[in-house]
Amino acid sequence: MTWAAPAAPALTTNRVASGLRFPVFVTAPPGDDRLFIVEQRGVINILDNGVVLPDPFLDIDPLVAFSGGEDERGLLGLAFHPDYVTNGYFYVNYVNLGNDTVIKRYRVSSNPNVADPADSMTVIVFDLQDNLHRGGTLLFSPIDDYLYIGMGDGSIPGDPPGNAQSDTKLLGKMLRIDVDGGVPYGIPPDNPYVGLPPLDEIWARGFRNPYRWSFDRVTGDLYIGDVGQGCWEEVDFQPGTSNGGENYGWNIMEGDHCFFNPGGPCDPPGCSTSGLVLPIHEYSHGGNPLRCSITGGNVYRGSASSLRGTYFFSDFCTNQIWSFRYVNSTVTEFTDRTAELDPGGGLQIGEIAAFGEDGFGELYIVDRGAGTDGEIYQLIAPGTGIGDGPGAAPRLLSLSTAQPNPFSVSTSFEIELPRAARLTLSVFDTNGRLVRSLVAGAPASGFRTFAWDGLDGRGVVSPSGIYFLRAEADGEARTQRLCLVR
């Protein structure tokens, strides 16, 4: 492949949290101003208004197997239920003291910053003998609200048992379950292998270690960073319109290349790619220092309009960061972002364990660190007002607090544009779906008052629930939460 030239400086990063103990993931419910930080040791912390709260949101350290260092076990993933605002449910992925991977549901307490560790339910347990290739990410799809679980092959190098291709094992697979359809879960009726136990849960197969993967919160497209064996790292893709059943090739393929055994050449001849879905991007273990392990990232959907639709990812060993767009089945705008995103000032981003999104689609980089020096950095795009310090350019767009809120009939709010700009004003539900466009790119300036009457774009009454008002003008965006009560 051809490596991209460094990008012209345009983006930067801002450290928002430090002194963390092996952070491995960040996320937040849609529209939530807080950032939830997952520490591998078994603790979830909250970053609120620039401060890590002194009391953890959840502490299950006594339940979690993690020895520090390069141990792949621990607390690895966190996903909030699509109706978290009303039911308080969230799901974690961790390795227990018996070396099993556990998916468990917890619930927030009456204090929104503290979960109730006693209010829990085990959803599924995977009995694994080896410490390697656990996967770790679990997420709800913005398309269907089902819970997806990425499982590695759970095997020694090369996957000798063939777990990833097996018809009888859930390892090396992407699973899809309905947490609201039964206890502890149900099987979505349109899963591709329904009626073929134990394959009911399987959505896709052929993964070695899909440690970090993500949904595009707007399109529902799935981007999967699958960690390679010894030669090739890859980004796999599944469109949001997929019916499932894809086979991404491991251990027949490693990236675009045939794979036979761990000691063999990087590109042996003779395998068949029939029926396999090849990656949209791969990179080799070359370079100095040597690249060795992909950290899958996210498609940016924050306030910087010029970046929306751009996928960011990195290599764990070199801390190189790249981005591209995937348009019409083609990778475009492939860019080396490493130097551009260097925070400077004596700081350095290393051991990138994950990317993550806050409740408004802004992007973060997780520096796992070496024990007590983990850090979280936010991606900053000039002109957005995100992370701007003293001396930054004045903001163009102001959005007043909606009144009343909660509301039952109508709520109103003011937009201020000190200079002429094209204004877009939209209402979204908690899954990021457009409910109604109030203004679509109209020229505007000065003060204007707007209102939303709770109707969708077809004039149908929207149900009670949480919605998000988003105003955009010249690359700036402002968002606030609305509560509709019928």
User: Which pLDDT tens digit goes with each residue over 398-451?
Assistant: 888 888 989 999 999 989 887 778 888 999 988 778 999 999 877 777 778 899
pLDDT higher than 70, residue 360: yes
- The more confident residue out of 394 and 310 is 310
For range 298-304, the mean pLDDT: 90
Q: Which of 132-146, 385-399, 438-452, 469-483 has the highest mean pLDDT?
A: 132-146
Question: Of the ranges 72-81, 269-278, 432-441, which one carries the lowest mean pLDDT score?
Answer: 432-441
pLDDT higher than 90, residue 91: yes
pLDDT higher than 90, residue 262: no
pLDDT higher than 90, residue 21: yes
pLDDT for 7 equals 52
pLDDT higher than 70, residue 1: no
pLDDT higher than 60, residue 172: yes
pLDDT for 111 equals 95
CA separation for the pair 112, 137 (Å, rounded): 23
pLDDT higher than 80, residue 23: yes
pLDDT for 447 equals 79
pLDDT higher than 50, residue 390: no
For range 171-181, the mean pLDDT: 97
Question: Of the ranges 53-62, 332-341, 458-467, which one carries the lowest mean pLDDT score?
Answer: 458-467
Q: Which structural domains are found in the chain, ordered by start?
A: 12-380 (2.120.10.30), 398-484 (2.60.40.4070)
For range 231-239, the mean pLDDT: 97
pLDDT higher than 70, residue 383: no
pLDDT for 393 equals 42
Across the chain, mean pLDDT equals: 91
pLDDT for 392 equals 37
pLDDT for 455 equals 94
pLDDT for 433 equals 85
pLDDT for 171 equals 95
pLDDT for 3 equals 55
For range 75-103, the mean pLDDT: 96
pLDDT for 92 equals 98
Q: Over the stretch 199-233, which tens digit does the pLDDT of each residue have?
A: 899 999 999 999 999 999 989 999 999 999 989 99
